[in-house]
Amino acid sequence: MSAQLKLVTPSNENRQVAPTRKPNAELRQREYLTEAEVERLLKAAKAGRHGHRDATLILIAFRHGLRAAEIAALEWSQVEFSRNPVLHVTRVKNGTPSVHPVQGDELRALRQLHRKARTPFVFETERATGFTPDAVNRQIKTIGERAQLPFPTHCHMLRHSCGYALANKGHDTRALQAWLGHRSIQHTVRYTELSPTRFRSFWK
């Protein structure tokens, strides 16, 4: 060993890195909103500075079970303003695409938004650009706080809310799978498993 080299005692110590975010189960008791809570969210959105845009975003995300990235990427070319209006849904995460009918209240909201469109994106910012998925999540969180919901909200809760709402209406698991674009039905069964309609005939 060279005379100029000497052993140095390492000064680093092993530490356990604290988690930067609590698990969802600690932040809220459930990962979906009831239809009444979605209505509260819509009402709070309408009272904001960009009320119509934000309320339309929540309505479309809820009805069609869209993820934040799918909302951010949604373009007017995916909306068919025809006698039988439809939404061409493109899924992320290798989800299966589908074509959804558009309800009357959705159609009216989208048409009003379309008249002021400056970009190809359905939901655009003040600077005439599309949203990022993070910006969509921040928007939903802020609106949830204004709605005074008893737990923090995020965009994916609207997707789960869609699944549970449709399961509660009695739609079968295969139909839900197609609507939400799940590749595997295992991702869909959570909604029918927690649906109270499956126990409707109990104790009769």
Q: What CATH number is attached to the domain comprising 186? A: 1.10.443.10
pTM above 0.85, yes or no: no
Separation CA 96–CA 178 (nearest Å) = 7
Does residue 14 surpass a pLDDT of 70? Answer: no
Residue of 53, 63, 64, 156 with catalytic role: 156
What are the residues whose beta carbons fall under 8 Å from the beta carbon of 195, sequence distance 6 or more? 164, 167, 168
pLDDT band at 49 (very low <50, low <70, confident <90, very high): very high
Residue of 64, 67, 91, 160 with catalytic role: 67
Domain extent, residue 144, equals 30-192
Instruction: Compute, in degrees rounded to 10, the torsion defined by CA atoms 116, 154, 148, 163.
Output: 90
The reply to whether 83 belongs to the active site is no
The reply to whether 164 belongs to the active site is no
Q: Within a domain: residue 4?
A: no
Q: Compute the average pLDDT of residues 15-25.
A: 52
Domain count, the chain: 1
Phi, psi (rounded to 5 degrees) for 158: -70, -35
Q: Within a domain: residue 69?
A: yes
> What is the layout of strands, in order, in the sheet containing 98-101?
79-80, 86-89, 98-101
Does residue 16 surpass a pLDDT of 70? Answer: no
Q: Quick check: 70 and 159 in contact, CB under 8 A?
A: no
Q: What pLDDT is attached to residue 192?
A: 80
The reply to whether 67 belongs to the active site is yes
Q: What pLDDT is attached to residue 191?
A: 86
Q: Within a domain: residue 49?
A: yes
Name the token pair of 101: 């009918």
Q: Compute the average pLDDT of residues 10-22.
A: 55
> Minimal CA–CA distance to 101: which of 82, 114, 73?
82
Q: Within a domain: residue 133?
A: yes
| pLDDT digits 0-9 by tens, 145-165 | 999 999 999 999 999 999 999
Residue of 64, 91, 159, 160 with catalytic role: 159
Separation CA 21–CA 44 (nearest Å) = 27
Separation CA 53–CA 59 (nearest Å) = 10
The reply to whether 182 belongs to the active site is yes
Residue of 93, 114, 174, 183 with catalytic role: 93
Q: Within a domain: residue 151?
A: yes
At 20 the three-state DSSP class reads: coil
